[in-house]
Amino acid sequence: MKGKAEKLDSTSRTSEIVRALEGDIALGELAPKERLVEEDLATRFKVKRPVVRQALSELETMGVVRREPNRGATVRNYGADEVEQLYLVRALVEKTAAELIPLPAAPALVRQLTSIHERHCAAVKKGDLRGVFRENLLFHKTFFAACGNAPLVDVIEQLALKAHAIRSYSIGNPDLLVSVCADHARMIDLIQGSNREELMRLVVRHIQPAKDEYLRLAAHSHRLR
């Protein structure tokens, strides 16, 4: 029983570390190329190094951390071509999902998205960037799940995870956050009607500012390879 309890605790702690580091990366508190030292993380989270190692392995699988032999783990850094390719695929799959969402949407979905949207906007007003990050993820997860195609939703979520470090360059920009809130409100309006073409265009346009901001600021700071 003790061994099982320790395993469950280790799994729980691993998930906590993954969630915390995921947020740190998305918020820019851990920058692209920054090293993730196991010993430092073990001290920070008060866990043993194998737990940290497992968390880093999961983050690598998610695509936000890169691990190399004899060099350890670093926050994944994207070159300009990689960013363009990633966002091209994101646009294609998210546009496809928007094409599959039944219109007009069920009232229950509208209520759910509206509730998330209100919390997201409240977090923006308070400057609660971790709240902004989490509610934004939940909004998109809920929105795209409405397409009813589970494999497609999985792909969208995997690509969104890879974009965490890219979004970190824009999440603290007040003007962009206001724009994101406006886009979400418009998405909710559109799914209550029948203008699918506008919905598809908005879904594609919605993800572009984060990409553009990353490329502009990363080039300025010479972080791109």
| 102 and 212 within one domain | yes
Domain limit, last residue, from 75, 92, 107 = 75
| 216 and 143 within one domain | yes
| 51 and 20 within one domain | yes
What average pLDDT does range 123-150 have in this prediction?
A: 96
| 94 and 14 within one domain | no
pLDDT digit string (tens) for 171-205? 878 899 999 999 999 999 999 999 999 999 999 99
Provide DSSP, 113-159. Answer: HHHHHHHHHHHHHHT-HHHHHHHHHHHHHHHHHTT--HHHHHHHHHH
Strand 35-36 with 72-75, pairing? antiparallel
Predicted TM-score (pTM) of the model is 0.84
Could you list the residue range(s) of the whole structural domain that residue 198 is in? 80-220
Strand ranges of the sheet holding 72-75, from the earlier edge strand across to the other edge: 35-36, 72-75, 65-68
User: If pLDDT is split at 50, 70 and 90, which confidence band does 220 have?
Assistant: low
- Inside any domain, residue 24: yes
pLDDT digit string (tens) for 15-30? 999 989 988 888 888 8
What average pLDDT does range 47-64 have in this prediction?
A: 91
| 107 and 70 within one domain | no
98: nearest Cα among 151, 144, 155:
144
pLDDT in the model for residue 39:
93
Tokens of 130: 């971790």
pLDDT in the model for residue 94:
98
**What total of structural domains would you count in the chain?**
2
- Inside any domain, residue 7: yes
| 85 and 49 within one domain | no
- Inside any domain, residue 125: yes
pLDDT in the model for residue 222:
52
What average pLDDT does range 101-127 have in this prediction?
A: 97
65 vs 172, residue with greater confidence: 65
pLDDT in the model for residue 92:
98
pLDDT in the model for residue 224:
43
AA identity, residue 75: V
User: If pLDDT is split at 50, 70 and 90, which confidence band does 9 have?
Assistant: low
pLDDT digit string (tens) for 144-164? 999 999 999 999 999 998 888
User: If pLDDT is split at 50, 70 and 90, which confidence band does 225 have?
Assistant: very low
Q: What are phi and psi of 123, to 5 degrees?
A: -65, -35
Mean pLDDT of the chain: 89
pLDDT in the model for residue 78:
84
With H, G, I as helix, E, B as strand and everything else as coil, classify residue 196.
helix
- Inside any domain, residue 129: yes
AA identity, residue 123: A
* Segment (H or E) for 50: helix 49-62
AA identity, residue 24: D
Are 129 and 120 in contact, with CB atoms under 8 Å apart?
Answer: no
126, burial (CB in 10 Å: exposed 0-12, middle 13-18, buried 19+): exposed
- Inside any domain, residue 26: yes
- Inside any domain, residue 225: no
Give dist(CA 198, CA 211) in Å, integer: 21
Domain limit, last residue, from 75, 94, 118 = 75
AA identity, residue 197: E
| 97 and 34 within one domain | no
| 70 and 107 within one domain | no
| 205 and 126 within one domain | yes
In this predicted structure, the answer to whether residue 8 has a pLDDT above a threshold of 60 is no
- Inside any domain, residue 151: yes
Domain limit, last residue, from 13, 48, 75 = 75
| 84 and 66 within one domain | no
pLDDT in the model for residue 221:
58
| 107 and 54 within one domain | no
- Inside any domain, residue 13: yes
Q: CATH number, domain at 69?
A: 1.10.10.10
Q: CATH number, domain at 124?
A: 1.20.120.530
| 103 and 158 within one domain | yes
In this predicted structure, the answer to whether residue 7 has a pLDDT above a threshold of 70 is no
Tokens 């939703």 appear where?
153
What average pLDDT does range 52-74 have in this prediction?
A: 88
